[in-house]
Amino acid sequence: MLDPQAQALMTLLSEKGIPPVYTQTPLEARASYHARRSLTQPDAPGLGRVQDLQFSHAGVSIAVRVYHPTGTAAVAGALPALVYLHGGGWTVGDLDTHDVLCRSLCQQAQGVVVAVDYRMGPEHKFPAAYDDALAAWQWVAAQAQTLGIDPERIAIGGDSAGGNLAAAACLGLRDLGLKPLMQLLIYPSTLMAPDTDSYKTNGQGYMLTRDSMAWYSGNYLRGPQDAQDWRASPQLAASHANLPPAFVLTAGFDPLRDEGLLYADALSRAGVSSQYICFERQIHGFITMGRVLQEANTAVSLCAQALRTAWAVA
């Protein structure tokens, strides 16, 4: 059964006549996504400190937002950290659309969160976003002392497209001899050309549709050949061994549900510690909607607990 609160939200959005994302230009879709956040997101929790910074790699300047928690842990020296990559189909979303989520993870987990405003399509095609994700984790590690971060306890994570980038970045970092402490994958996209049961059964009527997914991937990828590249489809990597432990969270009425499960299973088969949790009655994108979906707040708390546990045993 679909969560009644999720059903009520979808009914409201339908009544408001919000056009499907694939019928809009990227600029229109970004503005619409940005405007809707006040309807569904909870109030932003206060924090000890929030900084907007930038870093450069390969001649590109990337904006980041660094969140420090309040409380005793905030003054106890170097804190653990999470490098966070927002969702939005590699096309929409920014530091503001995921500000509340990053603040909540920061405060509840009592660690630093570094949100990354990576480059997006169609202006910047694959592998630009992947390159930015890889560089962001390396920059945070290199600047750990300046940022008040423990360099041995830096995780990486994201939701949807951000989960895709986090998973792919872990593969790329492994091949460079580097390893985040853990990977937090919230309904991640792991296959650019999916043929899963959830893609077929949930691809219409539950917010994220097959048409929307095709629009997003079309904005991001240069062509069909990119879908076979593990940097775009981390499920297709030759090996998933020696990757960071993972906490994978999915939604039951999400076309991406099976991609998250497949990835968790691939990690487990490769000997990587992997936890998998599915919110069976939820829809894609629900974790940012805590104003109208009670389970969103539960999901945020679970993610924060997973981070705290990983940081505590490091």
Looking at 99, 117, 254, 258, which residue is catalytic? Answer: 254
Q: Are strands 60-68 and 49-57 parallel, antiparallel or unpaired?
A: antiparallel
| Residues 98, 87: Cα–Cα separation, whole Å | 8
Residue 11 buriedness (CB in 10 A; 0-12 / 13-18 / 19+):
exposed
Looking at 3, 94, 160, 226, which residue is catalytic? Answer: 160
The answer to whether 266 and 259 have CB atoms below 8 angstroms apart is: no
Which neighbouring-strand residues pair with 68?
Answer: 49
Q: Is 61 assigned a catalytic role?
A: no
| Residues 31, 38: Cα–Cα separation, whole Å | 13
Q: Is 96 assigned a catalytic role?
A: no
Q: Is 56 assigned a catalytic role?
A: no
Q: In what order do the strands lie in the sheet containing 49-57?
A: 49-57, 60-68, 112-117, 79-85, 149-159, 183-186, 246-251, 274-279
Long-range CB contacts for residues 269-275, cutoff 8 Å, separation at least 24: 269/240, 270/239, 270/240, 270/241, 270/242, 270/243, 271/241, 272/240, 272/241, 272/242, 272/243, 272/244, 272/245, 272/246, 273/245, 273/246, 274/245, 274/246, 274/247, 274/248, 275/246, 275/247, 275/248, 275/306
Residue given tokens 């630009």 in the structure block: 128
Biggest CA–CA distance in the chain, Å, is 51
Q: Within 10 Å of residue 41's Cβ, how many Cβ atoms?
A: 20
Residue given tokens 């940012």 in the structure block: 288
Residues known to be catalytic: 160, 254, 284
